[in-house]
Amino acid sequence: MKKETARQKKISELMHLFLYTNRLHRSMVEEKLSDLEVHSSQHHMLAIIAENKSICQKDIAQKLDISSAAVAVTLNKLEGAGYISRSQSFDDARKNHITITDSGVALLKKTKQIFDAMDAEMFEDVTDEEIEQMTAILSKLSAKQGK
């Protein structure tokens, strides 16, 4: 096996830090959201539903890049809690239109505040220039994903 180069070692250390930071952020957010009895995935799905006046399950799955089955599980929880409502499509009886309720809007507002506070806390010692550099780097790496 080849000896790891200095660059490979630095990249490996960077990825370890990146993944650790991601887990740390997720853990912090989930802890804060637990008081509301909601998970970050439910927040993200509510945000997608709120952005679209009426959306179907298949479109949510595509936007979040997850399976329709995973969407169905989360939608059932959101509907049971009164955060969304479903209505049958007039055009296609196999489709449901999903909309956010007033309770869902209120919850989304609270969860967004939690996400914003956690993000601000994590980046409080990072300069605007460093944020711009990090954004450029992550954008470059993300662009490779589609290739």
CATH code for the domain of 135: 1.10.10.10
- pTM for the whole thing? 0.77
Return the pLDDT at 93.
Answer: 62
The CA-based angle 4-8-13, given to 5 degrees, is 110
For residue 35, the enclosing domain spans 23-145
**Quick check: is 9 in a domain?**
no
**Quick check: is 17 in a domain?**
no
Alpha-carbon distance 118 to 26, whole Å?
Answer: 10
Q: Is 60 exceeded by the pLDDT of residue 147?
A: no
Which DSSP letter does residue 99 get? E
Residues 6+ apart with CB under 8 A from 101: 82, 83, 84, 85
Tens of pLDDT, residues 83-139: 999 987 667 666 778 999 999 999 999 999 988 998 999 999 999 999 999 999 999
Number of H helices, E strands in the chain: 6, 2
Count the domains in the chain.
1
**Quick check: is 18 in a domain?**
no
Identity of the amino acid at 61:
A
Tens of pLDDT, residues 22-80: 999 889 888 988 888 898 889 999 999 999 978 999 999 999 999 999 999 999 999 99
